[in-house]
Amino acid sequence: MKIKKVDHIGIAVNSIDEAVKLYTSVLGLKVASMEEVPEQKARTAIIPIGETKIELLESTAPDGAIARHIERRGEGLHHIALEVDNVQEMLDVLAGAGIALIDTKPRKGVEGSTIAFIHPKSTKILLEIMEPQK
């Protein structure tokens, strides 16, 4: 079990189309992909920067997690994602250490990845652990 790198930084936005303009028109970056994740009631845009990515997150429903986040905290940092070798093994280690988890089992994420979230009660921020598609 190993943390390999910070894979991406998730940023909650009201409009991906508006937010993308800063990263593309002003900063000169490129959107690598856009994807809707129906299970999470979210639409995403992935913007690579070196080995890390920015993941813009827009809610597709008023009751989605991103919409609730923006309602409580406004637009901005949503989560930091750490790439790991094996999400389930990491969840088992964290649970064994008494760390509060949002997900006890991995689920499907963006770009075919496997993901799980760690509760901010234990980490002070929302952390995602993720394993890229193999």
Q: What is the pTM of this model?
A: 0.93
- Interval 96-121: pLDDT, tens: 999 999 999 999 999 999 999 999 99
Q: 32 is written with which tokens? A: 């690598």
The boundaries of the domain holding residue 33 are 3-131
Q: 132 is written with which tokens? A: 């890229």
| pLDDT exceeds 80 at position 3 | yes
- As a whole number of angstroms, the distance between CA 30 and CA 43 comes to 17
Count of domains forming the chain:
1
Q: 31 is written with which tokens? A: 């959107």
Phi, psi of 47 (to 5 degrees): -125, 105
- Region 126-131 average pLDDT: 97
User: Mind spelling out the 3-state secondary structure of 65-127?
Assistant: HHHHHHHHHCCEEEEEEEEECCHHHHHHHHHHCCCCECCCCCEECHHHCEEEEECHHHHCCCE
- The CATH number of the domain holding residue 102 is 3.10.180.10
pLDDT value at residue 1: 67
- Region 123-131 average pLDDT: 96
Beta pairing partners, 43? 36, 58
